[in-house]
Amino acid sequence: MRSQGHAGQVLITGCSSGFGKKMVERFLKAGWKVLATSRKPEQMEQQGNLWILPYNVASETDRADITRCVTEICPNGLDCLINNAGYGLAGPLEALSETQIRQQFEVNFFAPLLLTQALLPSLRKAKGRVINISSVLGFTGMPMQSLYVASKFALEGLSESLHYELAAHGIQVALVEPGGFRTGFADSMDWAAGVMPDHPLYHQQFEGYRRFLRRVSTREKGKDPAQVAEVVLELASRATIPLRVRVGDDTQALYYIRRTLPQQIADAVLRRVSRHILQAN
């Protein structure tokens, strides 16, 4: 069993950019053996102790290849699995195509679920841990992002259940809930591809939300995603880990609103925030 503070072997998904890229850098610097999945391996630099796995975690065939690689590279078991791969889908529910709806869940929920399932024998062997990258939207709703929010709520429910289910097996499970960080998340957003309802209010809200995201994505003072990578490394290195870790002032503020204020007051505050987002200038 890996002792506290001792570098081990980690699989990180979604490593081309954002949190995944920063986590790869930080774990390598700390002396870990890193297996990193990426659908764009050309964006990654090959270096010592790094195995770049050019696979798509949403593909059944690719997940089988990932599992085979883990078995071959980590014969004594996998110390840590970090389910980071994911993306955002935006738009009113009426305008989302069924293909988009299903794909959002394939990548953000079913892929980490099935990859975790496949790697449990390896994680059990090493008494490892699973760290799922959720979001501030894993515990609060957001207009125009209902499917992204739903996929993260589902990931949270899965993770909490596994946190208790796998404890007796020596496998620890945790959620990391980042707020807004400089990851390019807004720039890579998938937008509604269905038919926009012929209703002026929808168009007004949709354009307001687009303006809000453009404003957020162009801020020069966005928080460095390296902060999240540092938190994840610290979790992976500890002897025992909590179920949830919230990262960012915005996440902490929203958690306070959702969990501390009376429900009616919290709802009133979040309604006002939602109106501000949908009417952004």
**Residues that are catalytic:** 16, 134, 148, 152
Q: Are the C-beta atoms of residues 88 and 178 closer than 8 Å to each other? A: no
Tens-digit pLDDT profile for residues 3-22: 444 589 999 999 999 999 99
Question: Which pLDDT value is given to residue 6?
Answer: 59
Q: What is the CATH number of the domain that holds 211?
A: 3.40.50.720
* Predicted confidence (pLDDT) per residue in 192-236, tens digit: 987 777 888 888 898 898 888 877 765 545 688 999 999 999 999
Residue 177, phi then psi, degrees to nearest 5:
-115, 85
* Beta strand residue intervals within the chain, DSSP E: 9-12, 33-37, 50-53, 80-83, 89-90, 129-133, 172-178, 190-191, 244-247
Instruction: Quote the CA–CA distance of 81 and 129 in Å, as a whole number.
Output: 6
Q: Quick check: is 53 in a domain?
A: yes
For residue range 31-59, what is the model confidence (pLDDT) as tens digits?
999 999 999 888 888 888 999 999 999 99
Phi and psi angles of residue 180, each rounded to the nearest 5 degrees, phi first? -80, 120
Instruction: Please report whether residue 117 resides in a domain.
Output: yes
pTM for the full predicted model: 0.92
Backbone phi and psi for residue 51, each to the nearest 5 degrees, phi listed first: -110, 115
pLDDT (0 to 100) of residue 188 = 77
Asked if the structure places residue 114 within a domain, the reply is yes
Domain hosting 135: range is 9-278
Over the stretch 115-171, which tens digit does the pLDDT of each residue have?
999 999 999 999 999 999 999 999 999 999 999 999 999 999 999 999 999 999 999
Q: Look at residue 220 and tell me if it is in a domain.
A: yes
In a domain, 1, yes or no: no
Percent of the chain with pLDDT over 70: 95
Q: How many domains does the chain have?
A: 1
Q: In terms of Cα–Cα distance, which of 116, 156, 111 is closest to 133?
A: 156
**186 near 213, Cβ under 8 Å?**
yes
pLDDT, residue 222, reads 65
60-82 as b/e: b if 16+ CB within 10 A: eebbeebbebbeeebeebbbbbb
Burial of 106 (0-12, 13-18, 19+ CB in 10 A): middle
Range with the poorest average pLDDT among 76-80, 155-159, 180-184, 265-269: 180-184
Q: What is the 3-class SS of 60-79, one letter each residue?
A: HHHHHHHHHHHHHHCCCCCC
Residue 264 corresponds to which amino acid? Q
The answer to whether position 2 is within a domain reads no
The angle subtended at Cα 136 by Cα 188 and Cα 129, nearest 5°, is 95
Whether 70 shows a pLDDT value over 90: the answer reads yes
Please indicate, yes or no, if residue 3 is contained in any of the structural domains: no
Let me know: does 132 contact 236? Beta carbons within 8 Å. Answer: no
In a domain, 4, yes or no: no
Average pLDDT of the chain?
A: 92
